[in-house]
């Protein structure tokens, strides 16, 4: 890994610039080596160093301030050393704004019976990459992420699914906490921010135990909130998410709800005090022929759109909706399995979520986010499941 310069003054600080008087929503700015990130923010996912089907310039023009890439997939192919030798992720994927890399822990543990877990690390079989065996320690994971070179990197953690026995979740909290300590000690790159991850499933006391340990083992510049959107319904999630974020997480650091991306959950999450979101939902559902809209989620495979000359969303200002692409045309592309259909829907869906967070930020700055939430929940747009 190339030698890194000393961290500039103010890098990875988080400035809260406004707080809503009625909710726990806040607007802020997180400072990184590749630019400031205004929050609340939605971050498109580019798992394998690409937001599927879209040029980096297109993603930028859609308003994305930061994108994600995945450590597991990039470590398997083309390999962290290859990315490093080609100038790091920013040069490799031609993206000059901030990047966040997930640790890949979620992907590792999704291999279920192919995983052998120990206090030292995790051994897993990469059946999606040739079937070989790989062993990761927290130190291994930090080395990979430092070579990839993202602006924000995540600790290696164990993410339990739902439902799960309390004892299993408690063990995951303990293991993730110990791994967080080791990640903190192993991470040495000053132009990267290492975020800790709060685990604990649907148990608030375990969430608080996880947070307390993270605060004690290192000065993490931000916190991911993991272990949600893993099988539970949204109301169950908010039972613990709302008090965790609004009452207990430190005000001076960004709160990142990992892997959650349907519009209504973003609106409600911001009201709790969440600052950052990511999800594959906008591009994955786009490739399946589905669009977010102010009238609710739309399935373009529906025959009612076959002769519909309207844009996807009359109130949307994305390049697809303002560019003359009709519902009828996009349905034709989807039904014909033309790749342009998924591309146009992915563009619209990413813009929709990025713009939703832009509008949420404006509402917070103007002190009217409580009304923003009520208006949203009373509109057809809230029917986005």
Task: Determine which one of 102, 143, 275, 384 is catalytic.
Answer: 102
78 pLDDT band, cuts 50/70/90, is very high
Bridge-based pairing state of the strands 115-117 and 122-126:
antiparallel
8 pLDDT band, cuts 50/70/90, is low
pLDDT tens digit string along 277-322?
999 999 999 999 999 999 999 999 999 999 999 999 999 999 999 9
Which CATH number characterizes residue 142's domain? 3.20.20.105
pLDDT tens digit string along 128-168?
899 899 999 999 999 999 999 999 999 999 999 999 999 99
Reply yes or no on whether the pLDDT at 110 is more than 90.
no
What span, in angstroms and rounded, lies between the C-alpha atoms of 108 and 102?
Answer: 12
Domain-located, residue 335 = no
Burial 306-333 (b: 16+ CB within 10 A, else e): eebeebbbeebebebbeeebbbebbbeb
7 pLDDT band, cuts 50/70/90, is low
Residues near 52 by beta carbon (within 8 Å), at least 6 away in sequence:
46, 283, 287, 346
* pLDDT above 90 coverage of the chain, percent: 91
Phi and psi at residue 140, to the nearest 5°: -60, -45
Reply yes or no on whether the pLDDT at 4 is more than 60.
no
Domain-located, residue 230 = yes
Compute the average pLDDT of residues 36-46.
98
Mean pLDDT of the chain: 95
Show the CA angle centred on residue 72, arms to residues 67 and 77, nearest 5°: 95
Compute the average pLDDT of residues 10-18.
96
Reply yes or no on whether the pLDDT at 1 is more than 70.
no
Domain-located, residue 330 = no
Domain-located, residue 339 = no
Domain-located, residue 127 = yes
* pTM beyond 0.75, yes or no: yes
DSSP 3-state of 124: strand
Reply yes or no on whether the pLDDT at 266 is more than 80.
yes
Domain-located, residue 258 = yes
Compute the average pLDDT of residues 58-66.
98
Domain-located, residue 40 = yes
Domain-located, residue 6 = no
Phi and psi at residue 159, to the nearest 5°: -105, 105
Task: Determine which one of 157, 275, 278, 384 is catalytic.
Answer: 278
Structural domains of the chain, count: 1
Tell me the residue ranges of DSSP E strands in the chain: 14-19, 26-32, 35-39, 41-44, 67-70, 99-102, 115-117, 122-126, 132-136, 152-154, 193-198, 223-225, 255-257, 276-279, 290-291, 298-299
CB–CB of 135/116 below 8 Å?
A: no
Place of tokens 């109301």: 235
pLDDT the model gives residue 79: 98
Reply yes or no on whether the pLDDT at 2 is more than 50.
no
- Structural domain boundaries, residue 194: 14-279
CA 78 to chain centre: 22
What span, in angstroms and rounded, lies between the C-alpha atoms of 96 and 89?
Answer: 9
Place of tokens 């003054």: 9
User: Can 102 be counted among the known catalytic residues?
Assistant: yes
């Amino acid at each position: 890994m190339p030698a890194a310069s000393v961290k500039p003054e103010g890098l990875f600080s988080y400035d809260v610039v406004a707080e809503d008087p009625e909710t726990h929503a806040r607007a802020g700015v997180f400072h990184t080596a590749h630019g400031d990130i205004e929050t609340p923010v939605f971050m498109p996912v580019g798992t394998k160093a690409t937001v599927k089907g879209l040029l980096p310039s297109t993603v930028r023009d859609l308003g994305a301030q930061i994108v994600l890439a995945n450590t597991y997939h990039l470590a398997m192919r083309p390999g962290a050393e290859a990315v490093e030798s080609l100038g790091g992720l920013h040069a490799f994927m031609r993206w000059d704004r901030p990047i966040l890399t997930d640790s890949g822990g979620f992907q590792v543990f999704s291999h279920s019976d192919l995983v052998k877990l120990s206090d030292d690390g995790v051994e897993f079989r990469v059946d999606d990459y040739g079937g070989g065996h790989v062993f990761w320690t927290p130190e291994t994971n930090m080395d990979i992420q430092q070579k990839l070179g993202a602006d924000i990197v995540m600790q290696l953690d164990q993410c339990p699914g739902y439902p799960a026995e309390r004892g299993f979740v408690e063990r995951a909290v303990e293991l993730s906490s110990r791994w967080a300590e080791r990640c903190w000690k192993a991470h040495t790159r000053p132009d990267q921010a290492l975020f800790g991850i709060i685990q604990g499933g649907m148990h608030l006391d375990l969430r608080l135990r996880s947070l307390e340990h993270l605060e004690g083992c290192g000065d993490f510049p931000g916190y991911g909130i993991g272990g949600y959107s893993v099988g539970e319904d949204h109301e169950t999630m908010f039972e613990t998410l709302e008090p965790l974020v609004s009452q207990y997480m430190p005000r001076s650091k960004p709160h990142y709800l990992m892997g959650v991306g349907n519009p209504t959950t973003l609106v409600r999450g911001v009201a709790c005090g969440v600052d950052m979101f990511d999800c594959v939902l906008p591009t994955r559902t786009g490739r399946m022929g589905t669009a977010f809209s102010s009238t609710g989620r739309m399935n373009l495979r529906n025959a009612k759109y076959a002769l519909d000359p309207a844009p996807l969303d009359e109130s949307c200002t994305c390049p697809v909706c303002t560019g003359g692409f009709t519902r009828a045309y996009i349905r034709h592309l989807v039904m014909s399995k033309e790749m342009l259909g998924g591309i146009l829907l992915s563009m619209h869906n990413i813009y929709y979520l990025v713009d939703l967070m832009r509008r949420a930020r404006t509402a917070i700055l103007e002190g009217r986010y409580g009304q923003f939430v009520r208006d949203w929940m009373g509109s057809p747009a809230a029917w986005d499941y």
